[in-house]
Structure 1
Amino acid sequence: MKNCFLTTLFLFLSSIVLAQTSKTYFNAAGDKHLAGEFDLEILKSDSSFQTWYVENERLFNLSGKNTDWKNAFENSEVEILIGTWCGDSKRWVPQFVKLWNELGLEESQLKFTALYDGKELYKQGPNGEEKGKLIHRVPTFIFTNKGEEFARIVEFPVNDLETDLAQIALGYASEPNYRAATYLLELFESEPLDSVYKNVQTHFNNVYRLVGKEKELNTLGYVFKYSDRMPEALLTFEINSVLFPYSPNVLHSYGEALMDNNQKDLAIQLFKRVIELEPGNETALNQLKELQDEIDHDEERQTEGEL
């Protein structure tokens, strides 16, 4: 009886500590989410996350193949940036942790950070935990040794989790998903924007060879936009609009960024093109009217001033 009481007390106190150290917030839909660094135990014990964690953990099973390669990870750490609102995070993080445990590796080697959803802090941490890490998709698994990154998995495994980890351990890691987005992220980190524009055709050709679906750069554009990097966002959206000139969604995203940057004439051109491709797009129709009304109002004020 005494042991039972002590166990219950320990679990209760542990839950209090977790509640005090893990930042939570509620999104626009009223759902509870995590932000910033957190202890894995909260995903396993908090009812807001426990269901999807347990369900997805069950999906993974070791293949039964030789796993001697696991020894290569003994001195490694993995930083895992997730969104508790993200379907891919819900699926792959529990499976990754289960694989890590079944390999006999230590959970203490894993560091967990949750990023916000929503526009104002889109894929950002409360203390800028994502900065300098080239994060554009979640989950992202960053493998380091003595602080130096040597591999990463972006959003989902290229093959399967066990194969991807084996390749990383053996020094033959698959190139992470979203190569075009990674190219632009690394480019903007290494060169000033005026230099990028001087060689924009070369960079466009490189992106063209690497890009997958239209959402790849569209998502990256929003990451830049909502982290106060509007010049990078505009160039990313512009490149995407050339790659996918018949996509209403791509053109609309670019138009909205131009609108936010007060480039009204160019935004109007984009919204008109969106409406040509998708006549029933109410958002584009309303934004086009709003911009045209603003321009008409500005012209009236200018005329009155001249008089």
Structure 2
Amino acid sequence: MKTLIITCFFVFFALNISQSQTLNKEIDSETDAPYLLGKIDKNGLTSNNYNVWFSSNYEDYQLDETTIKKIASYIKDYQITLFLGTWCGDSKREVPRFYKILEACNFPEDQLTVVALSSQPDMYKQSPQHEEEGLNIHRVPTFIFYKNRKEVNRIVERPVETLEKDILNIVSTNNYESSYQIVTKVNLILKNDGLNGLKAATTQLAKTYKPKVTSMYELNTYGRILYSKNRVEEAIEVFKLNVELFPEIPNTHMSLANTLGVSGEKNEAITVLEKAIKLFPDNKDLVENLHVIKTN
């Protein structure tokens, strides 16, 4: 029995050492600024390379004390998972504020999971253990609120009103809609109805969301993430939808053509670029891309 107890102790000790070694992992190279990757906590965010922006944004933020008191009566029933990039300006601004709000509410630290994602092309907005898998993380920061292990709602990139008011809405009435609703809708279609479902819905989606979507980058970033996860056909359909939403912007045509080109759809890529050049005859990038695709 004594031997068994000692063995169990060493296994437990080894597991704790392993977990502590992977927490707050920093990636440093000669070509890129250091960044955190994988599961982290506040200790990582207040370490040498990140403390300047974390502490200044934390200290400078003025809390909405009235709303904080209301949040505090609800929020301890929730678990929160936060995805961020220590290389991302929106994360640098919003995450310290979010921490300050949680601490003002005495939110239990063990109910918060924080994951730092990569900005590298081969792991774009992913983590080594892929905690983001299946969660439609296309913008950082993303704050996901869970209750009884089910997602209730999320704040994506930045608050619609303020962090305090957005959080209060989620944990009380929960009629909150985050930014980038078109991405939410497209992701849901892909999840439930697959690629053919998105193809069938594209025309109606363009009609419905054209008055609502303010930037081509809403879907463009989502398409990049799909492509980085080798969901190439889905990425192409997302870029096609983006062209319908923003036909007046050359970059939507270019994103579609380039993705078609690298995916082996050379003739279709050429067709897209030739049509775009008729619309934008003076755009040198389109002409150059057409030349590259034709000669490769």
Q: Considering the TM-score relative to the shorter chain, is it more than 0.5?
A: yes
Q: SS in structure 2 opposite 1:48?
A: coil
Q: What is the aligned partner in structure 2 of residue 259 from structure 1? A: 261
Supply the RMSD in Å over aligned alpha carbons. Answer: 2.3
* TM-score (ref. length: structure 2): 0.86
After superposition, the C-alpha distances for 1:54-77 in whole angstroms (9 at most, x for unaligned) are 121123222232513422111211
Equivalent pairs: percent with the same residue?
Answer: 29
Q: SS in structure 2 opposite 1:177?
A: coil
Q: CA deviation at 1:129?
A: 1.2
After superposition, the C-alpha distances for 1:191-224 in whole angstroms (9 at most, x for unaligned) are 1222332344334334435423111011111111
Alpha-carbon separation, structure 2, partners of 1:71 and 1:286 = 59
Alpha-carbon separation, structure 2, partners of 1:285 and 1:22 = 45
Residues 17 and 148 (structure 1), Cα distance of their counterparts in 2 relative to 1, 3 Å cut: closer
Residues 32 and 18 (structure 1), Cα distance of their counterparts in 2 relative to 1, 3 Å cut: farther
Q: SS in structure 2 opposite 1:191?
A: helix
Q: What is the aligned partner in structure 2 of residue 74 from structure 1? A: 76
**How many residues get paired?**
277
1:268 aligns with 2:270: yes
Does the CA contact (< 8 Å) of 1:275 and 1:281 recur in 2? no
Alpha-carbon separation, structure 2, partners of 1:126 and 1:195 = 31
After superposition, the C-alpha distances for 1:52-99 in whole angstroms (9 at most, x for unaligned) are 111211232222325134221112111000011111011100100001
After superposition, the C-alpha distances for 1:172-191 in whole angstroms (9 at most, x for unaligned) are 34201001111101111111
Aligned partner of 1:193: which letter? L
* TM-score (ref. length: structure 1): 0.83
Alpha-carbon separation, structure 1, partners of 2:217 and 2:160 = 18
Aligned with 1:292 (options 279, 291, 294):
294
Counterparts of 1:51-70 in structure 2, within 5 Å, are 51-65=52-66, 67-70=69-72
Does the CA contact (< 8 Å) of 1:27 and 1:118 recur in 2? no
1:48 aligns with 2:49: yes
Alpha-carbon separation, structure 2, partners of 1:27 and 1:227 = 24
Aligned partner of 1:61: which letter? Q
| Structure 1 consecutive aligned stretches of length 4 or more whose deviation exceeds 6 Å | none
Alpha-carbon separation, structure 1, partners of 2:236 and 2:119 = 21
Aligned with 1:25 (options 24, 27, 48):
27
Q: CA deviation at 1:293?
A: 2.3
Deviates more, 1:127-136 or 1:64-73: 64-73
Counterparts of 1:87-106 in structure 2, within 5 Å, are 87-106=89-108
Q: SS in structure 2 opposite 1:56?
A: helix
Residues 28 and 215 (structure 1), Cα distance of their counterparts in 2 relative to 1, 3 Å cut: farther
Q: CA deviation at 1:251?
A: 1.3
Counterparts of 1:175-254 in structure 2, within 5 Å, are 175-208=177-210, 210-254=212-256
Q: What is the aligned partner in structure 1 of residue 8 from structure 2? A: none
Counterparts of 1:115-194 in structure 2, within 5 Å, are 115-194=117-196
Aligned partner of 1:57: which letter? Y
Q: CA deviation at 1:165?
A: 1.5
Q: What is the aligned partner in structure 2 of residue 7 from structure 1? A: none
Q: SS in structure 2 opposite 1:58?
A: helix
Deviates more, 1:77-86 or 1:262-271: 262-271
Q: What is the aligned partner in structure 2 of residue 279 from structure 1? A: 282
Q: SS in structure 1 opposite 2:81?
A: strand
Deviates more, 1:189-198 or 1:259-268: 189-198
Alpha-carbon separation, structure 1, partners of 2:242 and 2:147 = 35
Does the CA contact (< 8 Å) of 1:218 and 1:237 recur in 2? yes
Aligned partner of 2:89: which letter? G
